Amino acid sequence: MKLWDKGYSIEEKITRFTVGDDLDYDNQLARYDVLGSLAHAHMLRDCNLITAEEAEKLEVALNSILEDIDAGNFSISKEYEDIHSMVEFILTERTGEAGKKIHTARSRNDQVLVDLHLFIKDTLDHIEEGVMKLFEQLLSLSEQHKDVLLPGYTHFQIAMPSSFGLWFGSYAETLIDDMEMIRAARRIADQNPLGSAAGYGSSFPINRQQTTDELGFRTMKYNVVAAQMSRGKLEKSTAFALASVAGTLSKMAMDICLYNSQNFAFVSFPASLTTGSSIMPHKKNPDVFELVRGRCNLIQSLPGEITLLTNNLPSGYHRDFQLLKEPLFPAIKSLSDCLDISAYMLEHIRVNPAILDDPKYDYLYSVENVNQEIMNGLSFRDAYKKVGEEVENGTFKPSKDFKHTHEGSIGNLCTPEIRAKMKAVLDRN
């Protein structure tokens, strides 16, 4: 059943290819399609394009569909081309002529756009909740383990003393940058495209501000061509936000995979949160974080995938846009799952409190020895040379009695400032 049916049949092979798996993704848009139709029906009534009686019939039918969706009792039948077709056919079946009028002054082009804008707003709100849960957890772990030292590395060589306070806190503060991306993408999504029709507006005297207000959008996408050009840009901005969070999770997962190995032994997890080997009975593998790393690396390819799909398209609608759902929708679920499982795993992380007792880490303190020589009156260059010679001739003795006080250092984690920094992003309109 097609909204554009004009009395001739289309070969089944063409239908299968053009629809593809789109119905599976449209099921995720069902709720938003009904909400958009409700707002549209109210606007048509108030603009005298349908009667109050017709609007009431449509409202009852749409609310009934919405109840089925929320109860999990709704799915798109294969006989329909998309969610828009199915909703309109249900409305026509239940309300008669009123159902035939619901599409007045709109196109499937702006209909799917409003669905996507509403869906992505909710999606980003959900991702934001996951990020905030992880953010607070990391800050809590940072404070809990602030006095436990661990080696810092550059070039995979031991460098200078770090701490679990710094390590956990670093990922918390990095999530603030990711939140900036999430909020930016959400502002792009928070614009109402409904009323742009096929991309060139309508001769009907509609009220786009009314649907903007009813659907809870911050503003409308005023220019009707610009509204249609948000298809692709909306998904791309969302992809960059998802990729930003994924980049942070991937790096953290890689750290944990290293730190959990026997060669490092900085952190560990209960055996029940690891997996085993089919041949090596001693193995307790960090498969969760390996999969987080792998999934998040795939998510980081998403902006490029969307760019390649859309970068040579002119203005106006093109069927290519349908394919944007295929990489985007699974990536949203995958990132949400990664945030959830990462937070769960960190609830159970075990920190090794005596890492730097091992003498192989003594050279971590070489810079501290240099600094102490400077405090005793040597220039930096002479102090550097003196300590370097001690390292080379085997007479180096680490000065482990050090104190870092500046902002963001081992001794001054600035946890309240980091929390305030995140709050400032969240409070910004």
Domain locations in the chain? 12-101, 120-191+227-356, 359-427
Give the H or E element holding residue 267. Answer: strand 267-268
**Buried/exposed code over 206-234 (b: 16+ C-beta within 10 A; e: otherwise):** bebebbbebbebeebbeebeebbbbbbeb
The three-state secondary structure class of 191 is: strand
The yes/no answer on whether domain 12-101 falls in CATH 1.10.275.10 is yes
Half-sphere exposure of 398 (CA within 13 A, CB side): 16
Q: What angle do CA 47, 52, 53 make, to 5 degrees?
A: 145
Picking from 320, 327, 298, 302, the residue whose alpha carbon sits closest to that of residue 181 is: 302
Domain 120-191+227-356: which CATH number of 3.10.580.10, 3.40.718.10, 1.20.200.10, 1.20.1290.10: 1.20.200.10
pLDDT band at 8 (very low <50, low <70, confident <90, very high): very low
Phi-psi region of 192 (alpha: psi -120 to 50; beta: other; left: phi over 0): beta
Q: Which residues on adjacent β-strands are paired with residue 350? A: 268
Check whether 321 has a pLDDT greater than 60.
yes
Check whether 10 has a pLDDT greater than 80.
no
Residue-wise pLDDT tens digits, 169-181: 999 999 999 999 9
* pLDDT given for residue 25 in this prediction: 86
* pLDDT given for residue 280 in this prediction: 77
* pLDDT given for residue 4 in this prediction: 42
* pLDDT given for residue 23 in this prediction: 82
Tokens of 129: 């909740």
Q: What's the CA gap between 239 and 337, in Å, rounded?
A: 16
Picking from 123, 127, 130, the residue whose alpha carbon sits closest to that of residue 346 is: 130
Q: Taking residues 272-292, what's their average pLDDT?
A: 84
* pLDDT given for residue 274 in this prediction: 84
- Separation in Å, CA 183 to CA 132, 153, 418, 429: 13, 33, 18, 9
Residue-wise pLDDT tens digits, 102-155: 999 999 999 999 999 999 999 999 999 999 999 999 999 999 999 999 999 999
Contact 267, 350 (CB under 8 A): yes
- Separation in Å, CA 84 to CA 29, 32, 35, 334: 10, 11, 12, 26
pLDDT band at 282 (very low <50, low <70, confident <90, very high): confident
Q: What's the CA gap between 106 and 125, in Å, rounded?
A: 28
Percent residues over pLDDT 70 in the chain: 95
Residue-wise pLDDT tens digits, 216-254: 999 999 999 999 999 999 999 999 999 999 999 999 999
Distance of CA 161 to the CA centre of its chain: 33
Residue-wise pLDDT tens digits, 324-382: 999 999 999 999 999 999 999 999 999 999 999 999 999 999 999 999 999 999 999 99
Q: Cα-Cα-Cα-Cα dihedral of 224, 229, 234, 236, to 10°?
A: -170
Instruction: Give the strand pairing for 149-154 and 157-163.
Output: antiparallel
* pTM of the shown model: 0.92
Q: Which residues contact 321 (CB under 8 A, 6 or more apart)?
A: 231, 232, 310
> Residue 240's CB: how many other CB atoms inside 10 A?
18
The chain-wide mean pLDDT, for the chain, equals 93
* Amino acid identity, position 327: P
